[in-house]
Chains A and B, each alone.
Chain A
Amino acid sequence: MRYRGKPALQDKLAAEYVLGTLRGCARLRFQAWLREDAALRRTVAEWESRLAPMAAGIAEVHPPGRVWTAIQSRLEGGAAAAKPGFWDSLAFWRNWGLLATGCAAALVAAVALRQPQTIEVPVVQTVEVPQKGMQPSYIALLHATAPDGQKLVFLAYAGRQSDELWVKKVALGDAPAEHGYELWGLPATPGEAPKSLGMLPKDEKGTIKLAAAADQSLKDFPALAISIEPASGSKTGLPTGPVIAKGDCLKFW
């Protein structure tokens, strides 16, 4: 939080963020601060207003009708309707995850910076690392997809050589009756289908038995997602219900 109490630095960072020259980890870190700091949000809004006339003059382009159709089907939510949007957002998150993986420190800082009332418990204490002398590990931080996309709702942790994925629902209510939550690995390769990692336990905390050690089971998935499925899991082997949370699966080594 080196920018705190330094209004000139805050202003400079806000200006470069709005202009678009704040990049990579610095941008992620700044976005995390932004979520926590109302004064910083004001500074950003001021810069947005200053530069707004530049965007206001850009020539209009009429978007094709399919864009509105796609938006509507994404908002309707249902399994069939959600499908195109689901893939779209997967593409977005998958790629974003690649960047975030390189910015693990920034992201952990982002989580640590959250107010206790938002996240309930600091992430470092929430994830109960099994003490088996294995530092290298995977950690996944999943955020709600809607209505408040910023809210951290789910954490998962696995030691690199362990086939046990430790999970905690931070703010994930019960699944609808006769349904359950299924956890998916989102591959880095475009077009490749998500892979089921298993159903989440009913309890707030628990473990999922992975098919193989985390190093095998998670290494191809820069991001994870949770969808609502029949209690016994998706019958198609692919997500069929709405995706309610997604986020990065970070490697720590």
Chain B
Amino acid sequence: MDPAQNQVLAGLLTACARRDQAAFARLYQSTSSKLFGVAVRILRREDWAEEVLQDCYVSIWNHAGSYEAGRSAPMTWMTSIVRNRCLDWLRRPNLEVAIGRPDDGDDPLENVPSEEPGPLEELARSADAKALRECLRRLEARQRQAIMLAFYEGLSHSQLASHMREPLGTVKTWVRRGLERLKGCLGTV
């Protein structure tokens, strides 16, 4: 997302905070494919992603006034709303019973691809993305895999442990150290 696009989106959010419905429609047109992509990626079910997306845009409309341009880019702010809502959705206890979908298997990991998800090539081609890609590359392979599985697939520590066939404590350490190293690296590149 280049600075000009960021400015346009920030302007639309400001207009939404003033209850400008036309601006909200434009915001939806400009961002919904991106945000739906994020929801589909994490939830892996388009019907769930549709419900989450609906909720998120209602939330964006209601909370547009709390967006602070100085703190994060508009897309980052909106993506965080979507990711958080997806995570809340995924971690509903007893998902199968609560949703009543018989086609949900018992194993939440059965749909997780076995290869490392979110290949580094998936990162956007901006300068920020270049830095993050470089720093992810510098992580140990297992740290990187744990972080990417958690981010792209919404896996919890215990799901990571079972997917990666490692003890829970080990996986927690990978995630923690990986994040620490990522922060340190991003501060230098």
A24's nearest neighbour on chain B, judged by CB, is: B91
Given A63-B33, A68-B28: A74 and B99 interface contact (C-beta under 8 Å): no
The CA of A190 and the CA of B95, in the complex, are separated in Å by 11
Residues of B within 8 A of A27 (CB): 87, 91
Inter-chain contacts of A57 with B (CB < 8 A): 118, 121-124, 129
Residues of chain A at interface, number, CB under 8 A: 55
Residue A64 at the B interface, CB < 8 A? yes
CA separation between A20 and B59, bound complex, in Å?
20
Contact B73–A49 (Cβ < 8 Å)? yes
Please encode chain B, from 64 to 104, with 1 for each CB lying within 8 Å of some chain A CB and 0 for all others.
00000001110111011001000111011110001110000
Are B50 and A66 in contact (CB-based, < 8 A)? yes
A1 interface residue (CB < 8 Å to B): no
A52 and B88 within 8 A (CB): no
B71 to chain A, nearest CB (A): 5
The number of A-B residue pairs with CB atoms under 8 Å apart is 178
Docked complex Cα distance between A58 and B123 (Å): 7
Contact A21 B150 (CB under 8 A): yes
Contact (Cβ within 8 A) B123 A56: yes
Residue of A nearest to B133 (CB): A53
Bound-complex Cα distance A59 to B46 (A) = 14
B37 part of interface (Cβ distance < 8 Å): yes
- In the complex, which of the residues B55, B61, B71 contacts A45, with contact meaning CB atoms closer than 8 Å? B71
Of the candidates A50, A68, A75, which one forms a contact with B132 in the assembled complex, judged by CB atoms under 8 Å apart? A50
Q: In angstroms, how far is the closest chain A Cβ from the Cβ of B131? A: 8
Q: Which residues of A contact B175 (CB under 8 A)?
A: 16, 19, 21
The reply to whether B72 and A53 contact each other, CB–CB distance below 8 Å, is no
From known contacts A48-B72, A48-B76, infer whether A53 and B92 are also in contact, taking CB-CB under 8 Å.
Answer: no
Given known A61-B40, A63-B32, A190-B98, contact A15–B179 (CB-CB < 8 A): yes
Which residue of A51, A88, A190 is within 8 Å of B51 (Cβ)?
A88
The 14 listed contacts between A and B (C-beta, < 8 Å) are: A21-B160, A24-B91, A45-B72, A48-B79, A52-B73, A52-B75, A54-B132, A60-B34, A66-B50, A67-B50, A92-B88, A94-B98, A96-B88, A147-B62
Given contacts A53-B126, A75-B24, 6 further A-B contacts (CB under 8 A): A56-B124, A56-B126, A59-B122, A75-B58, A98-B92, A99-B93
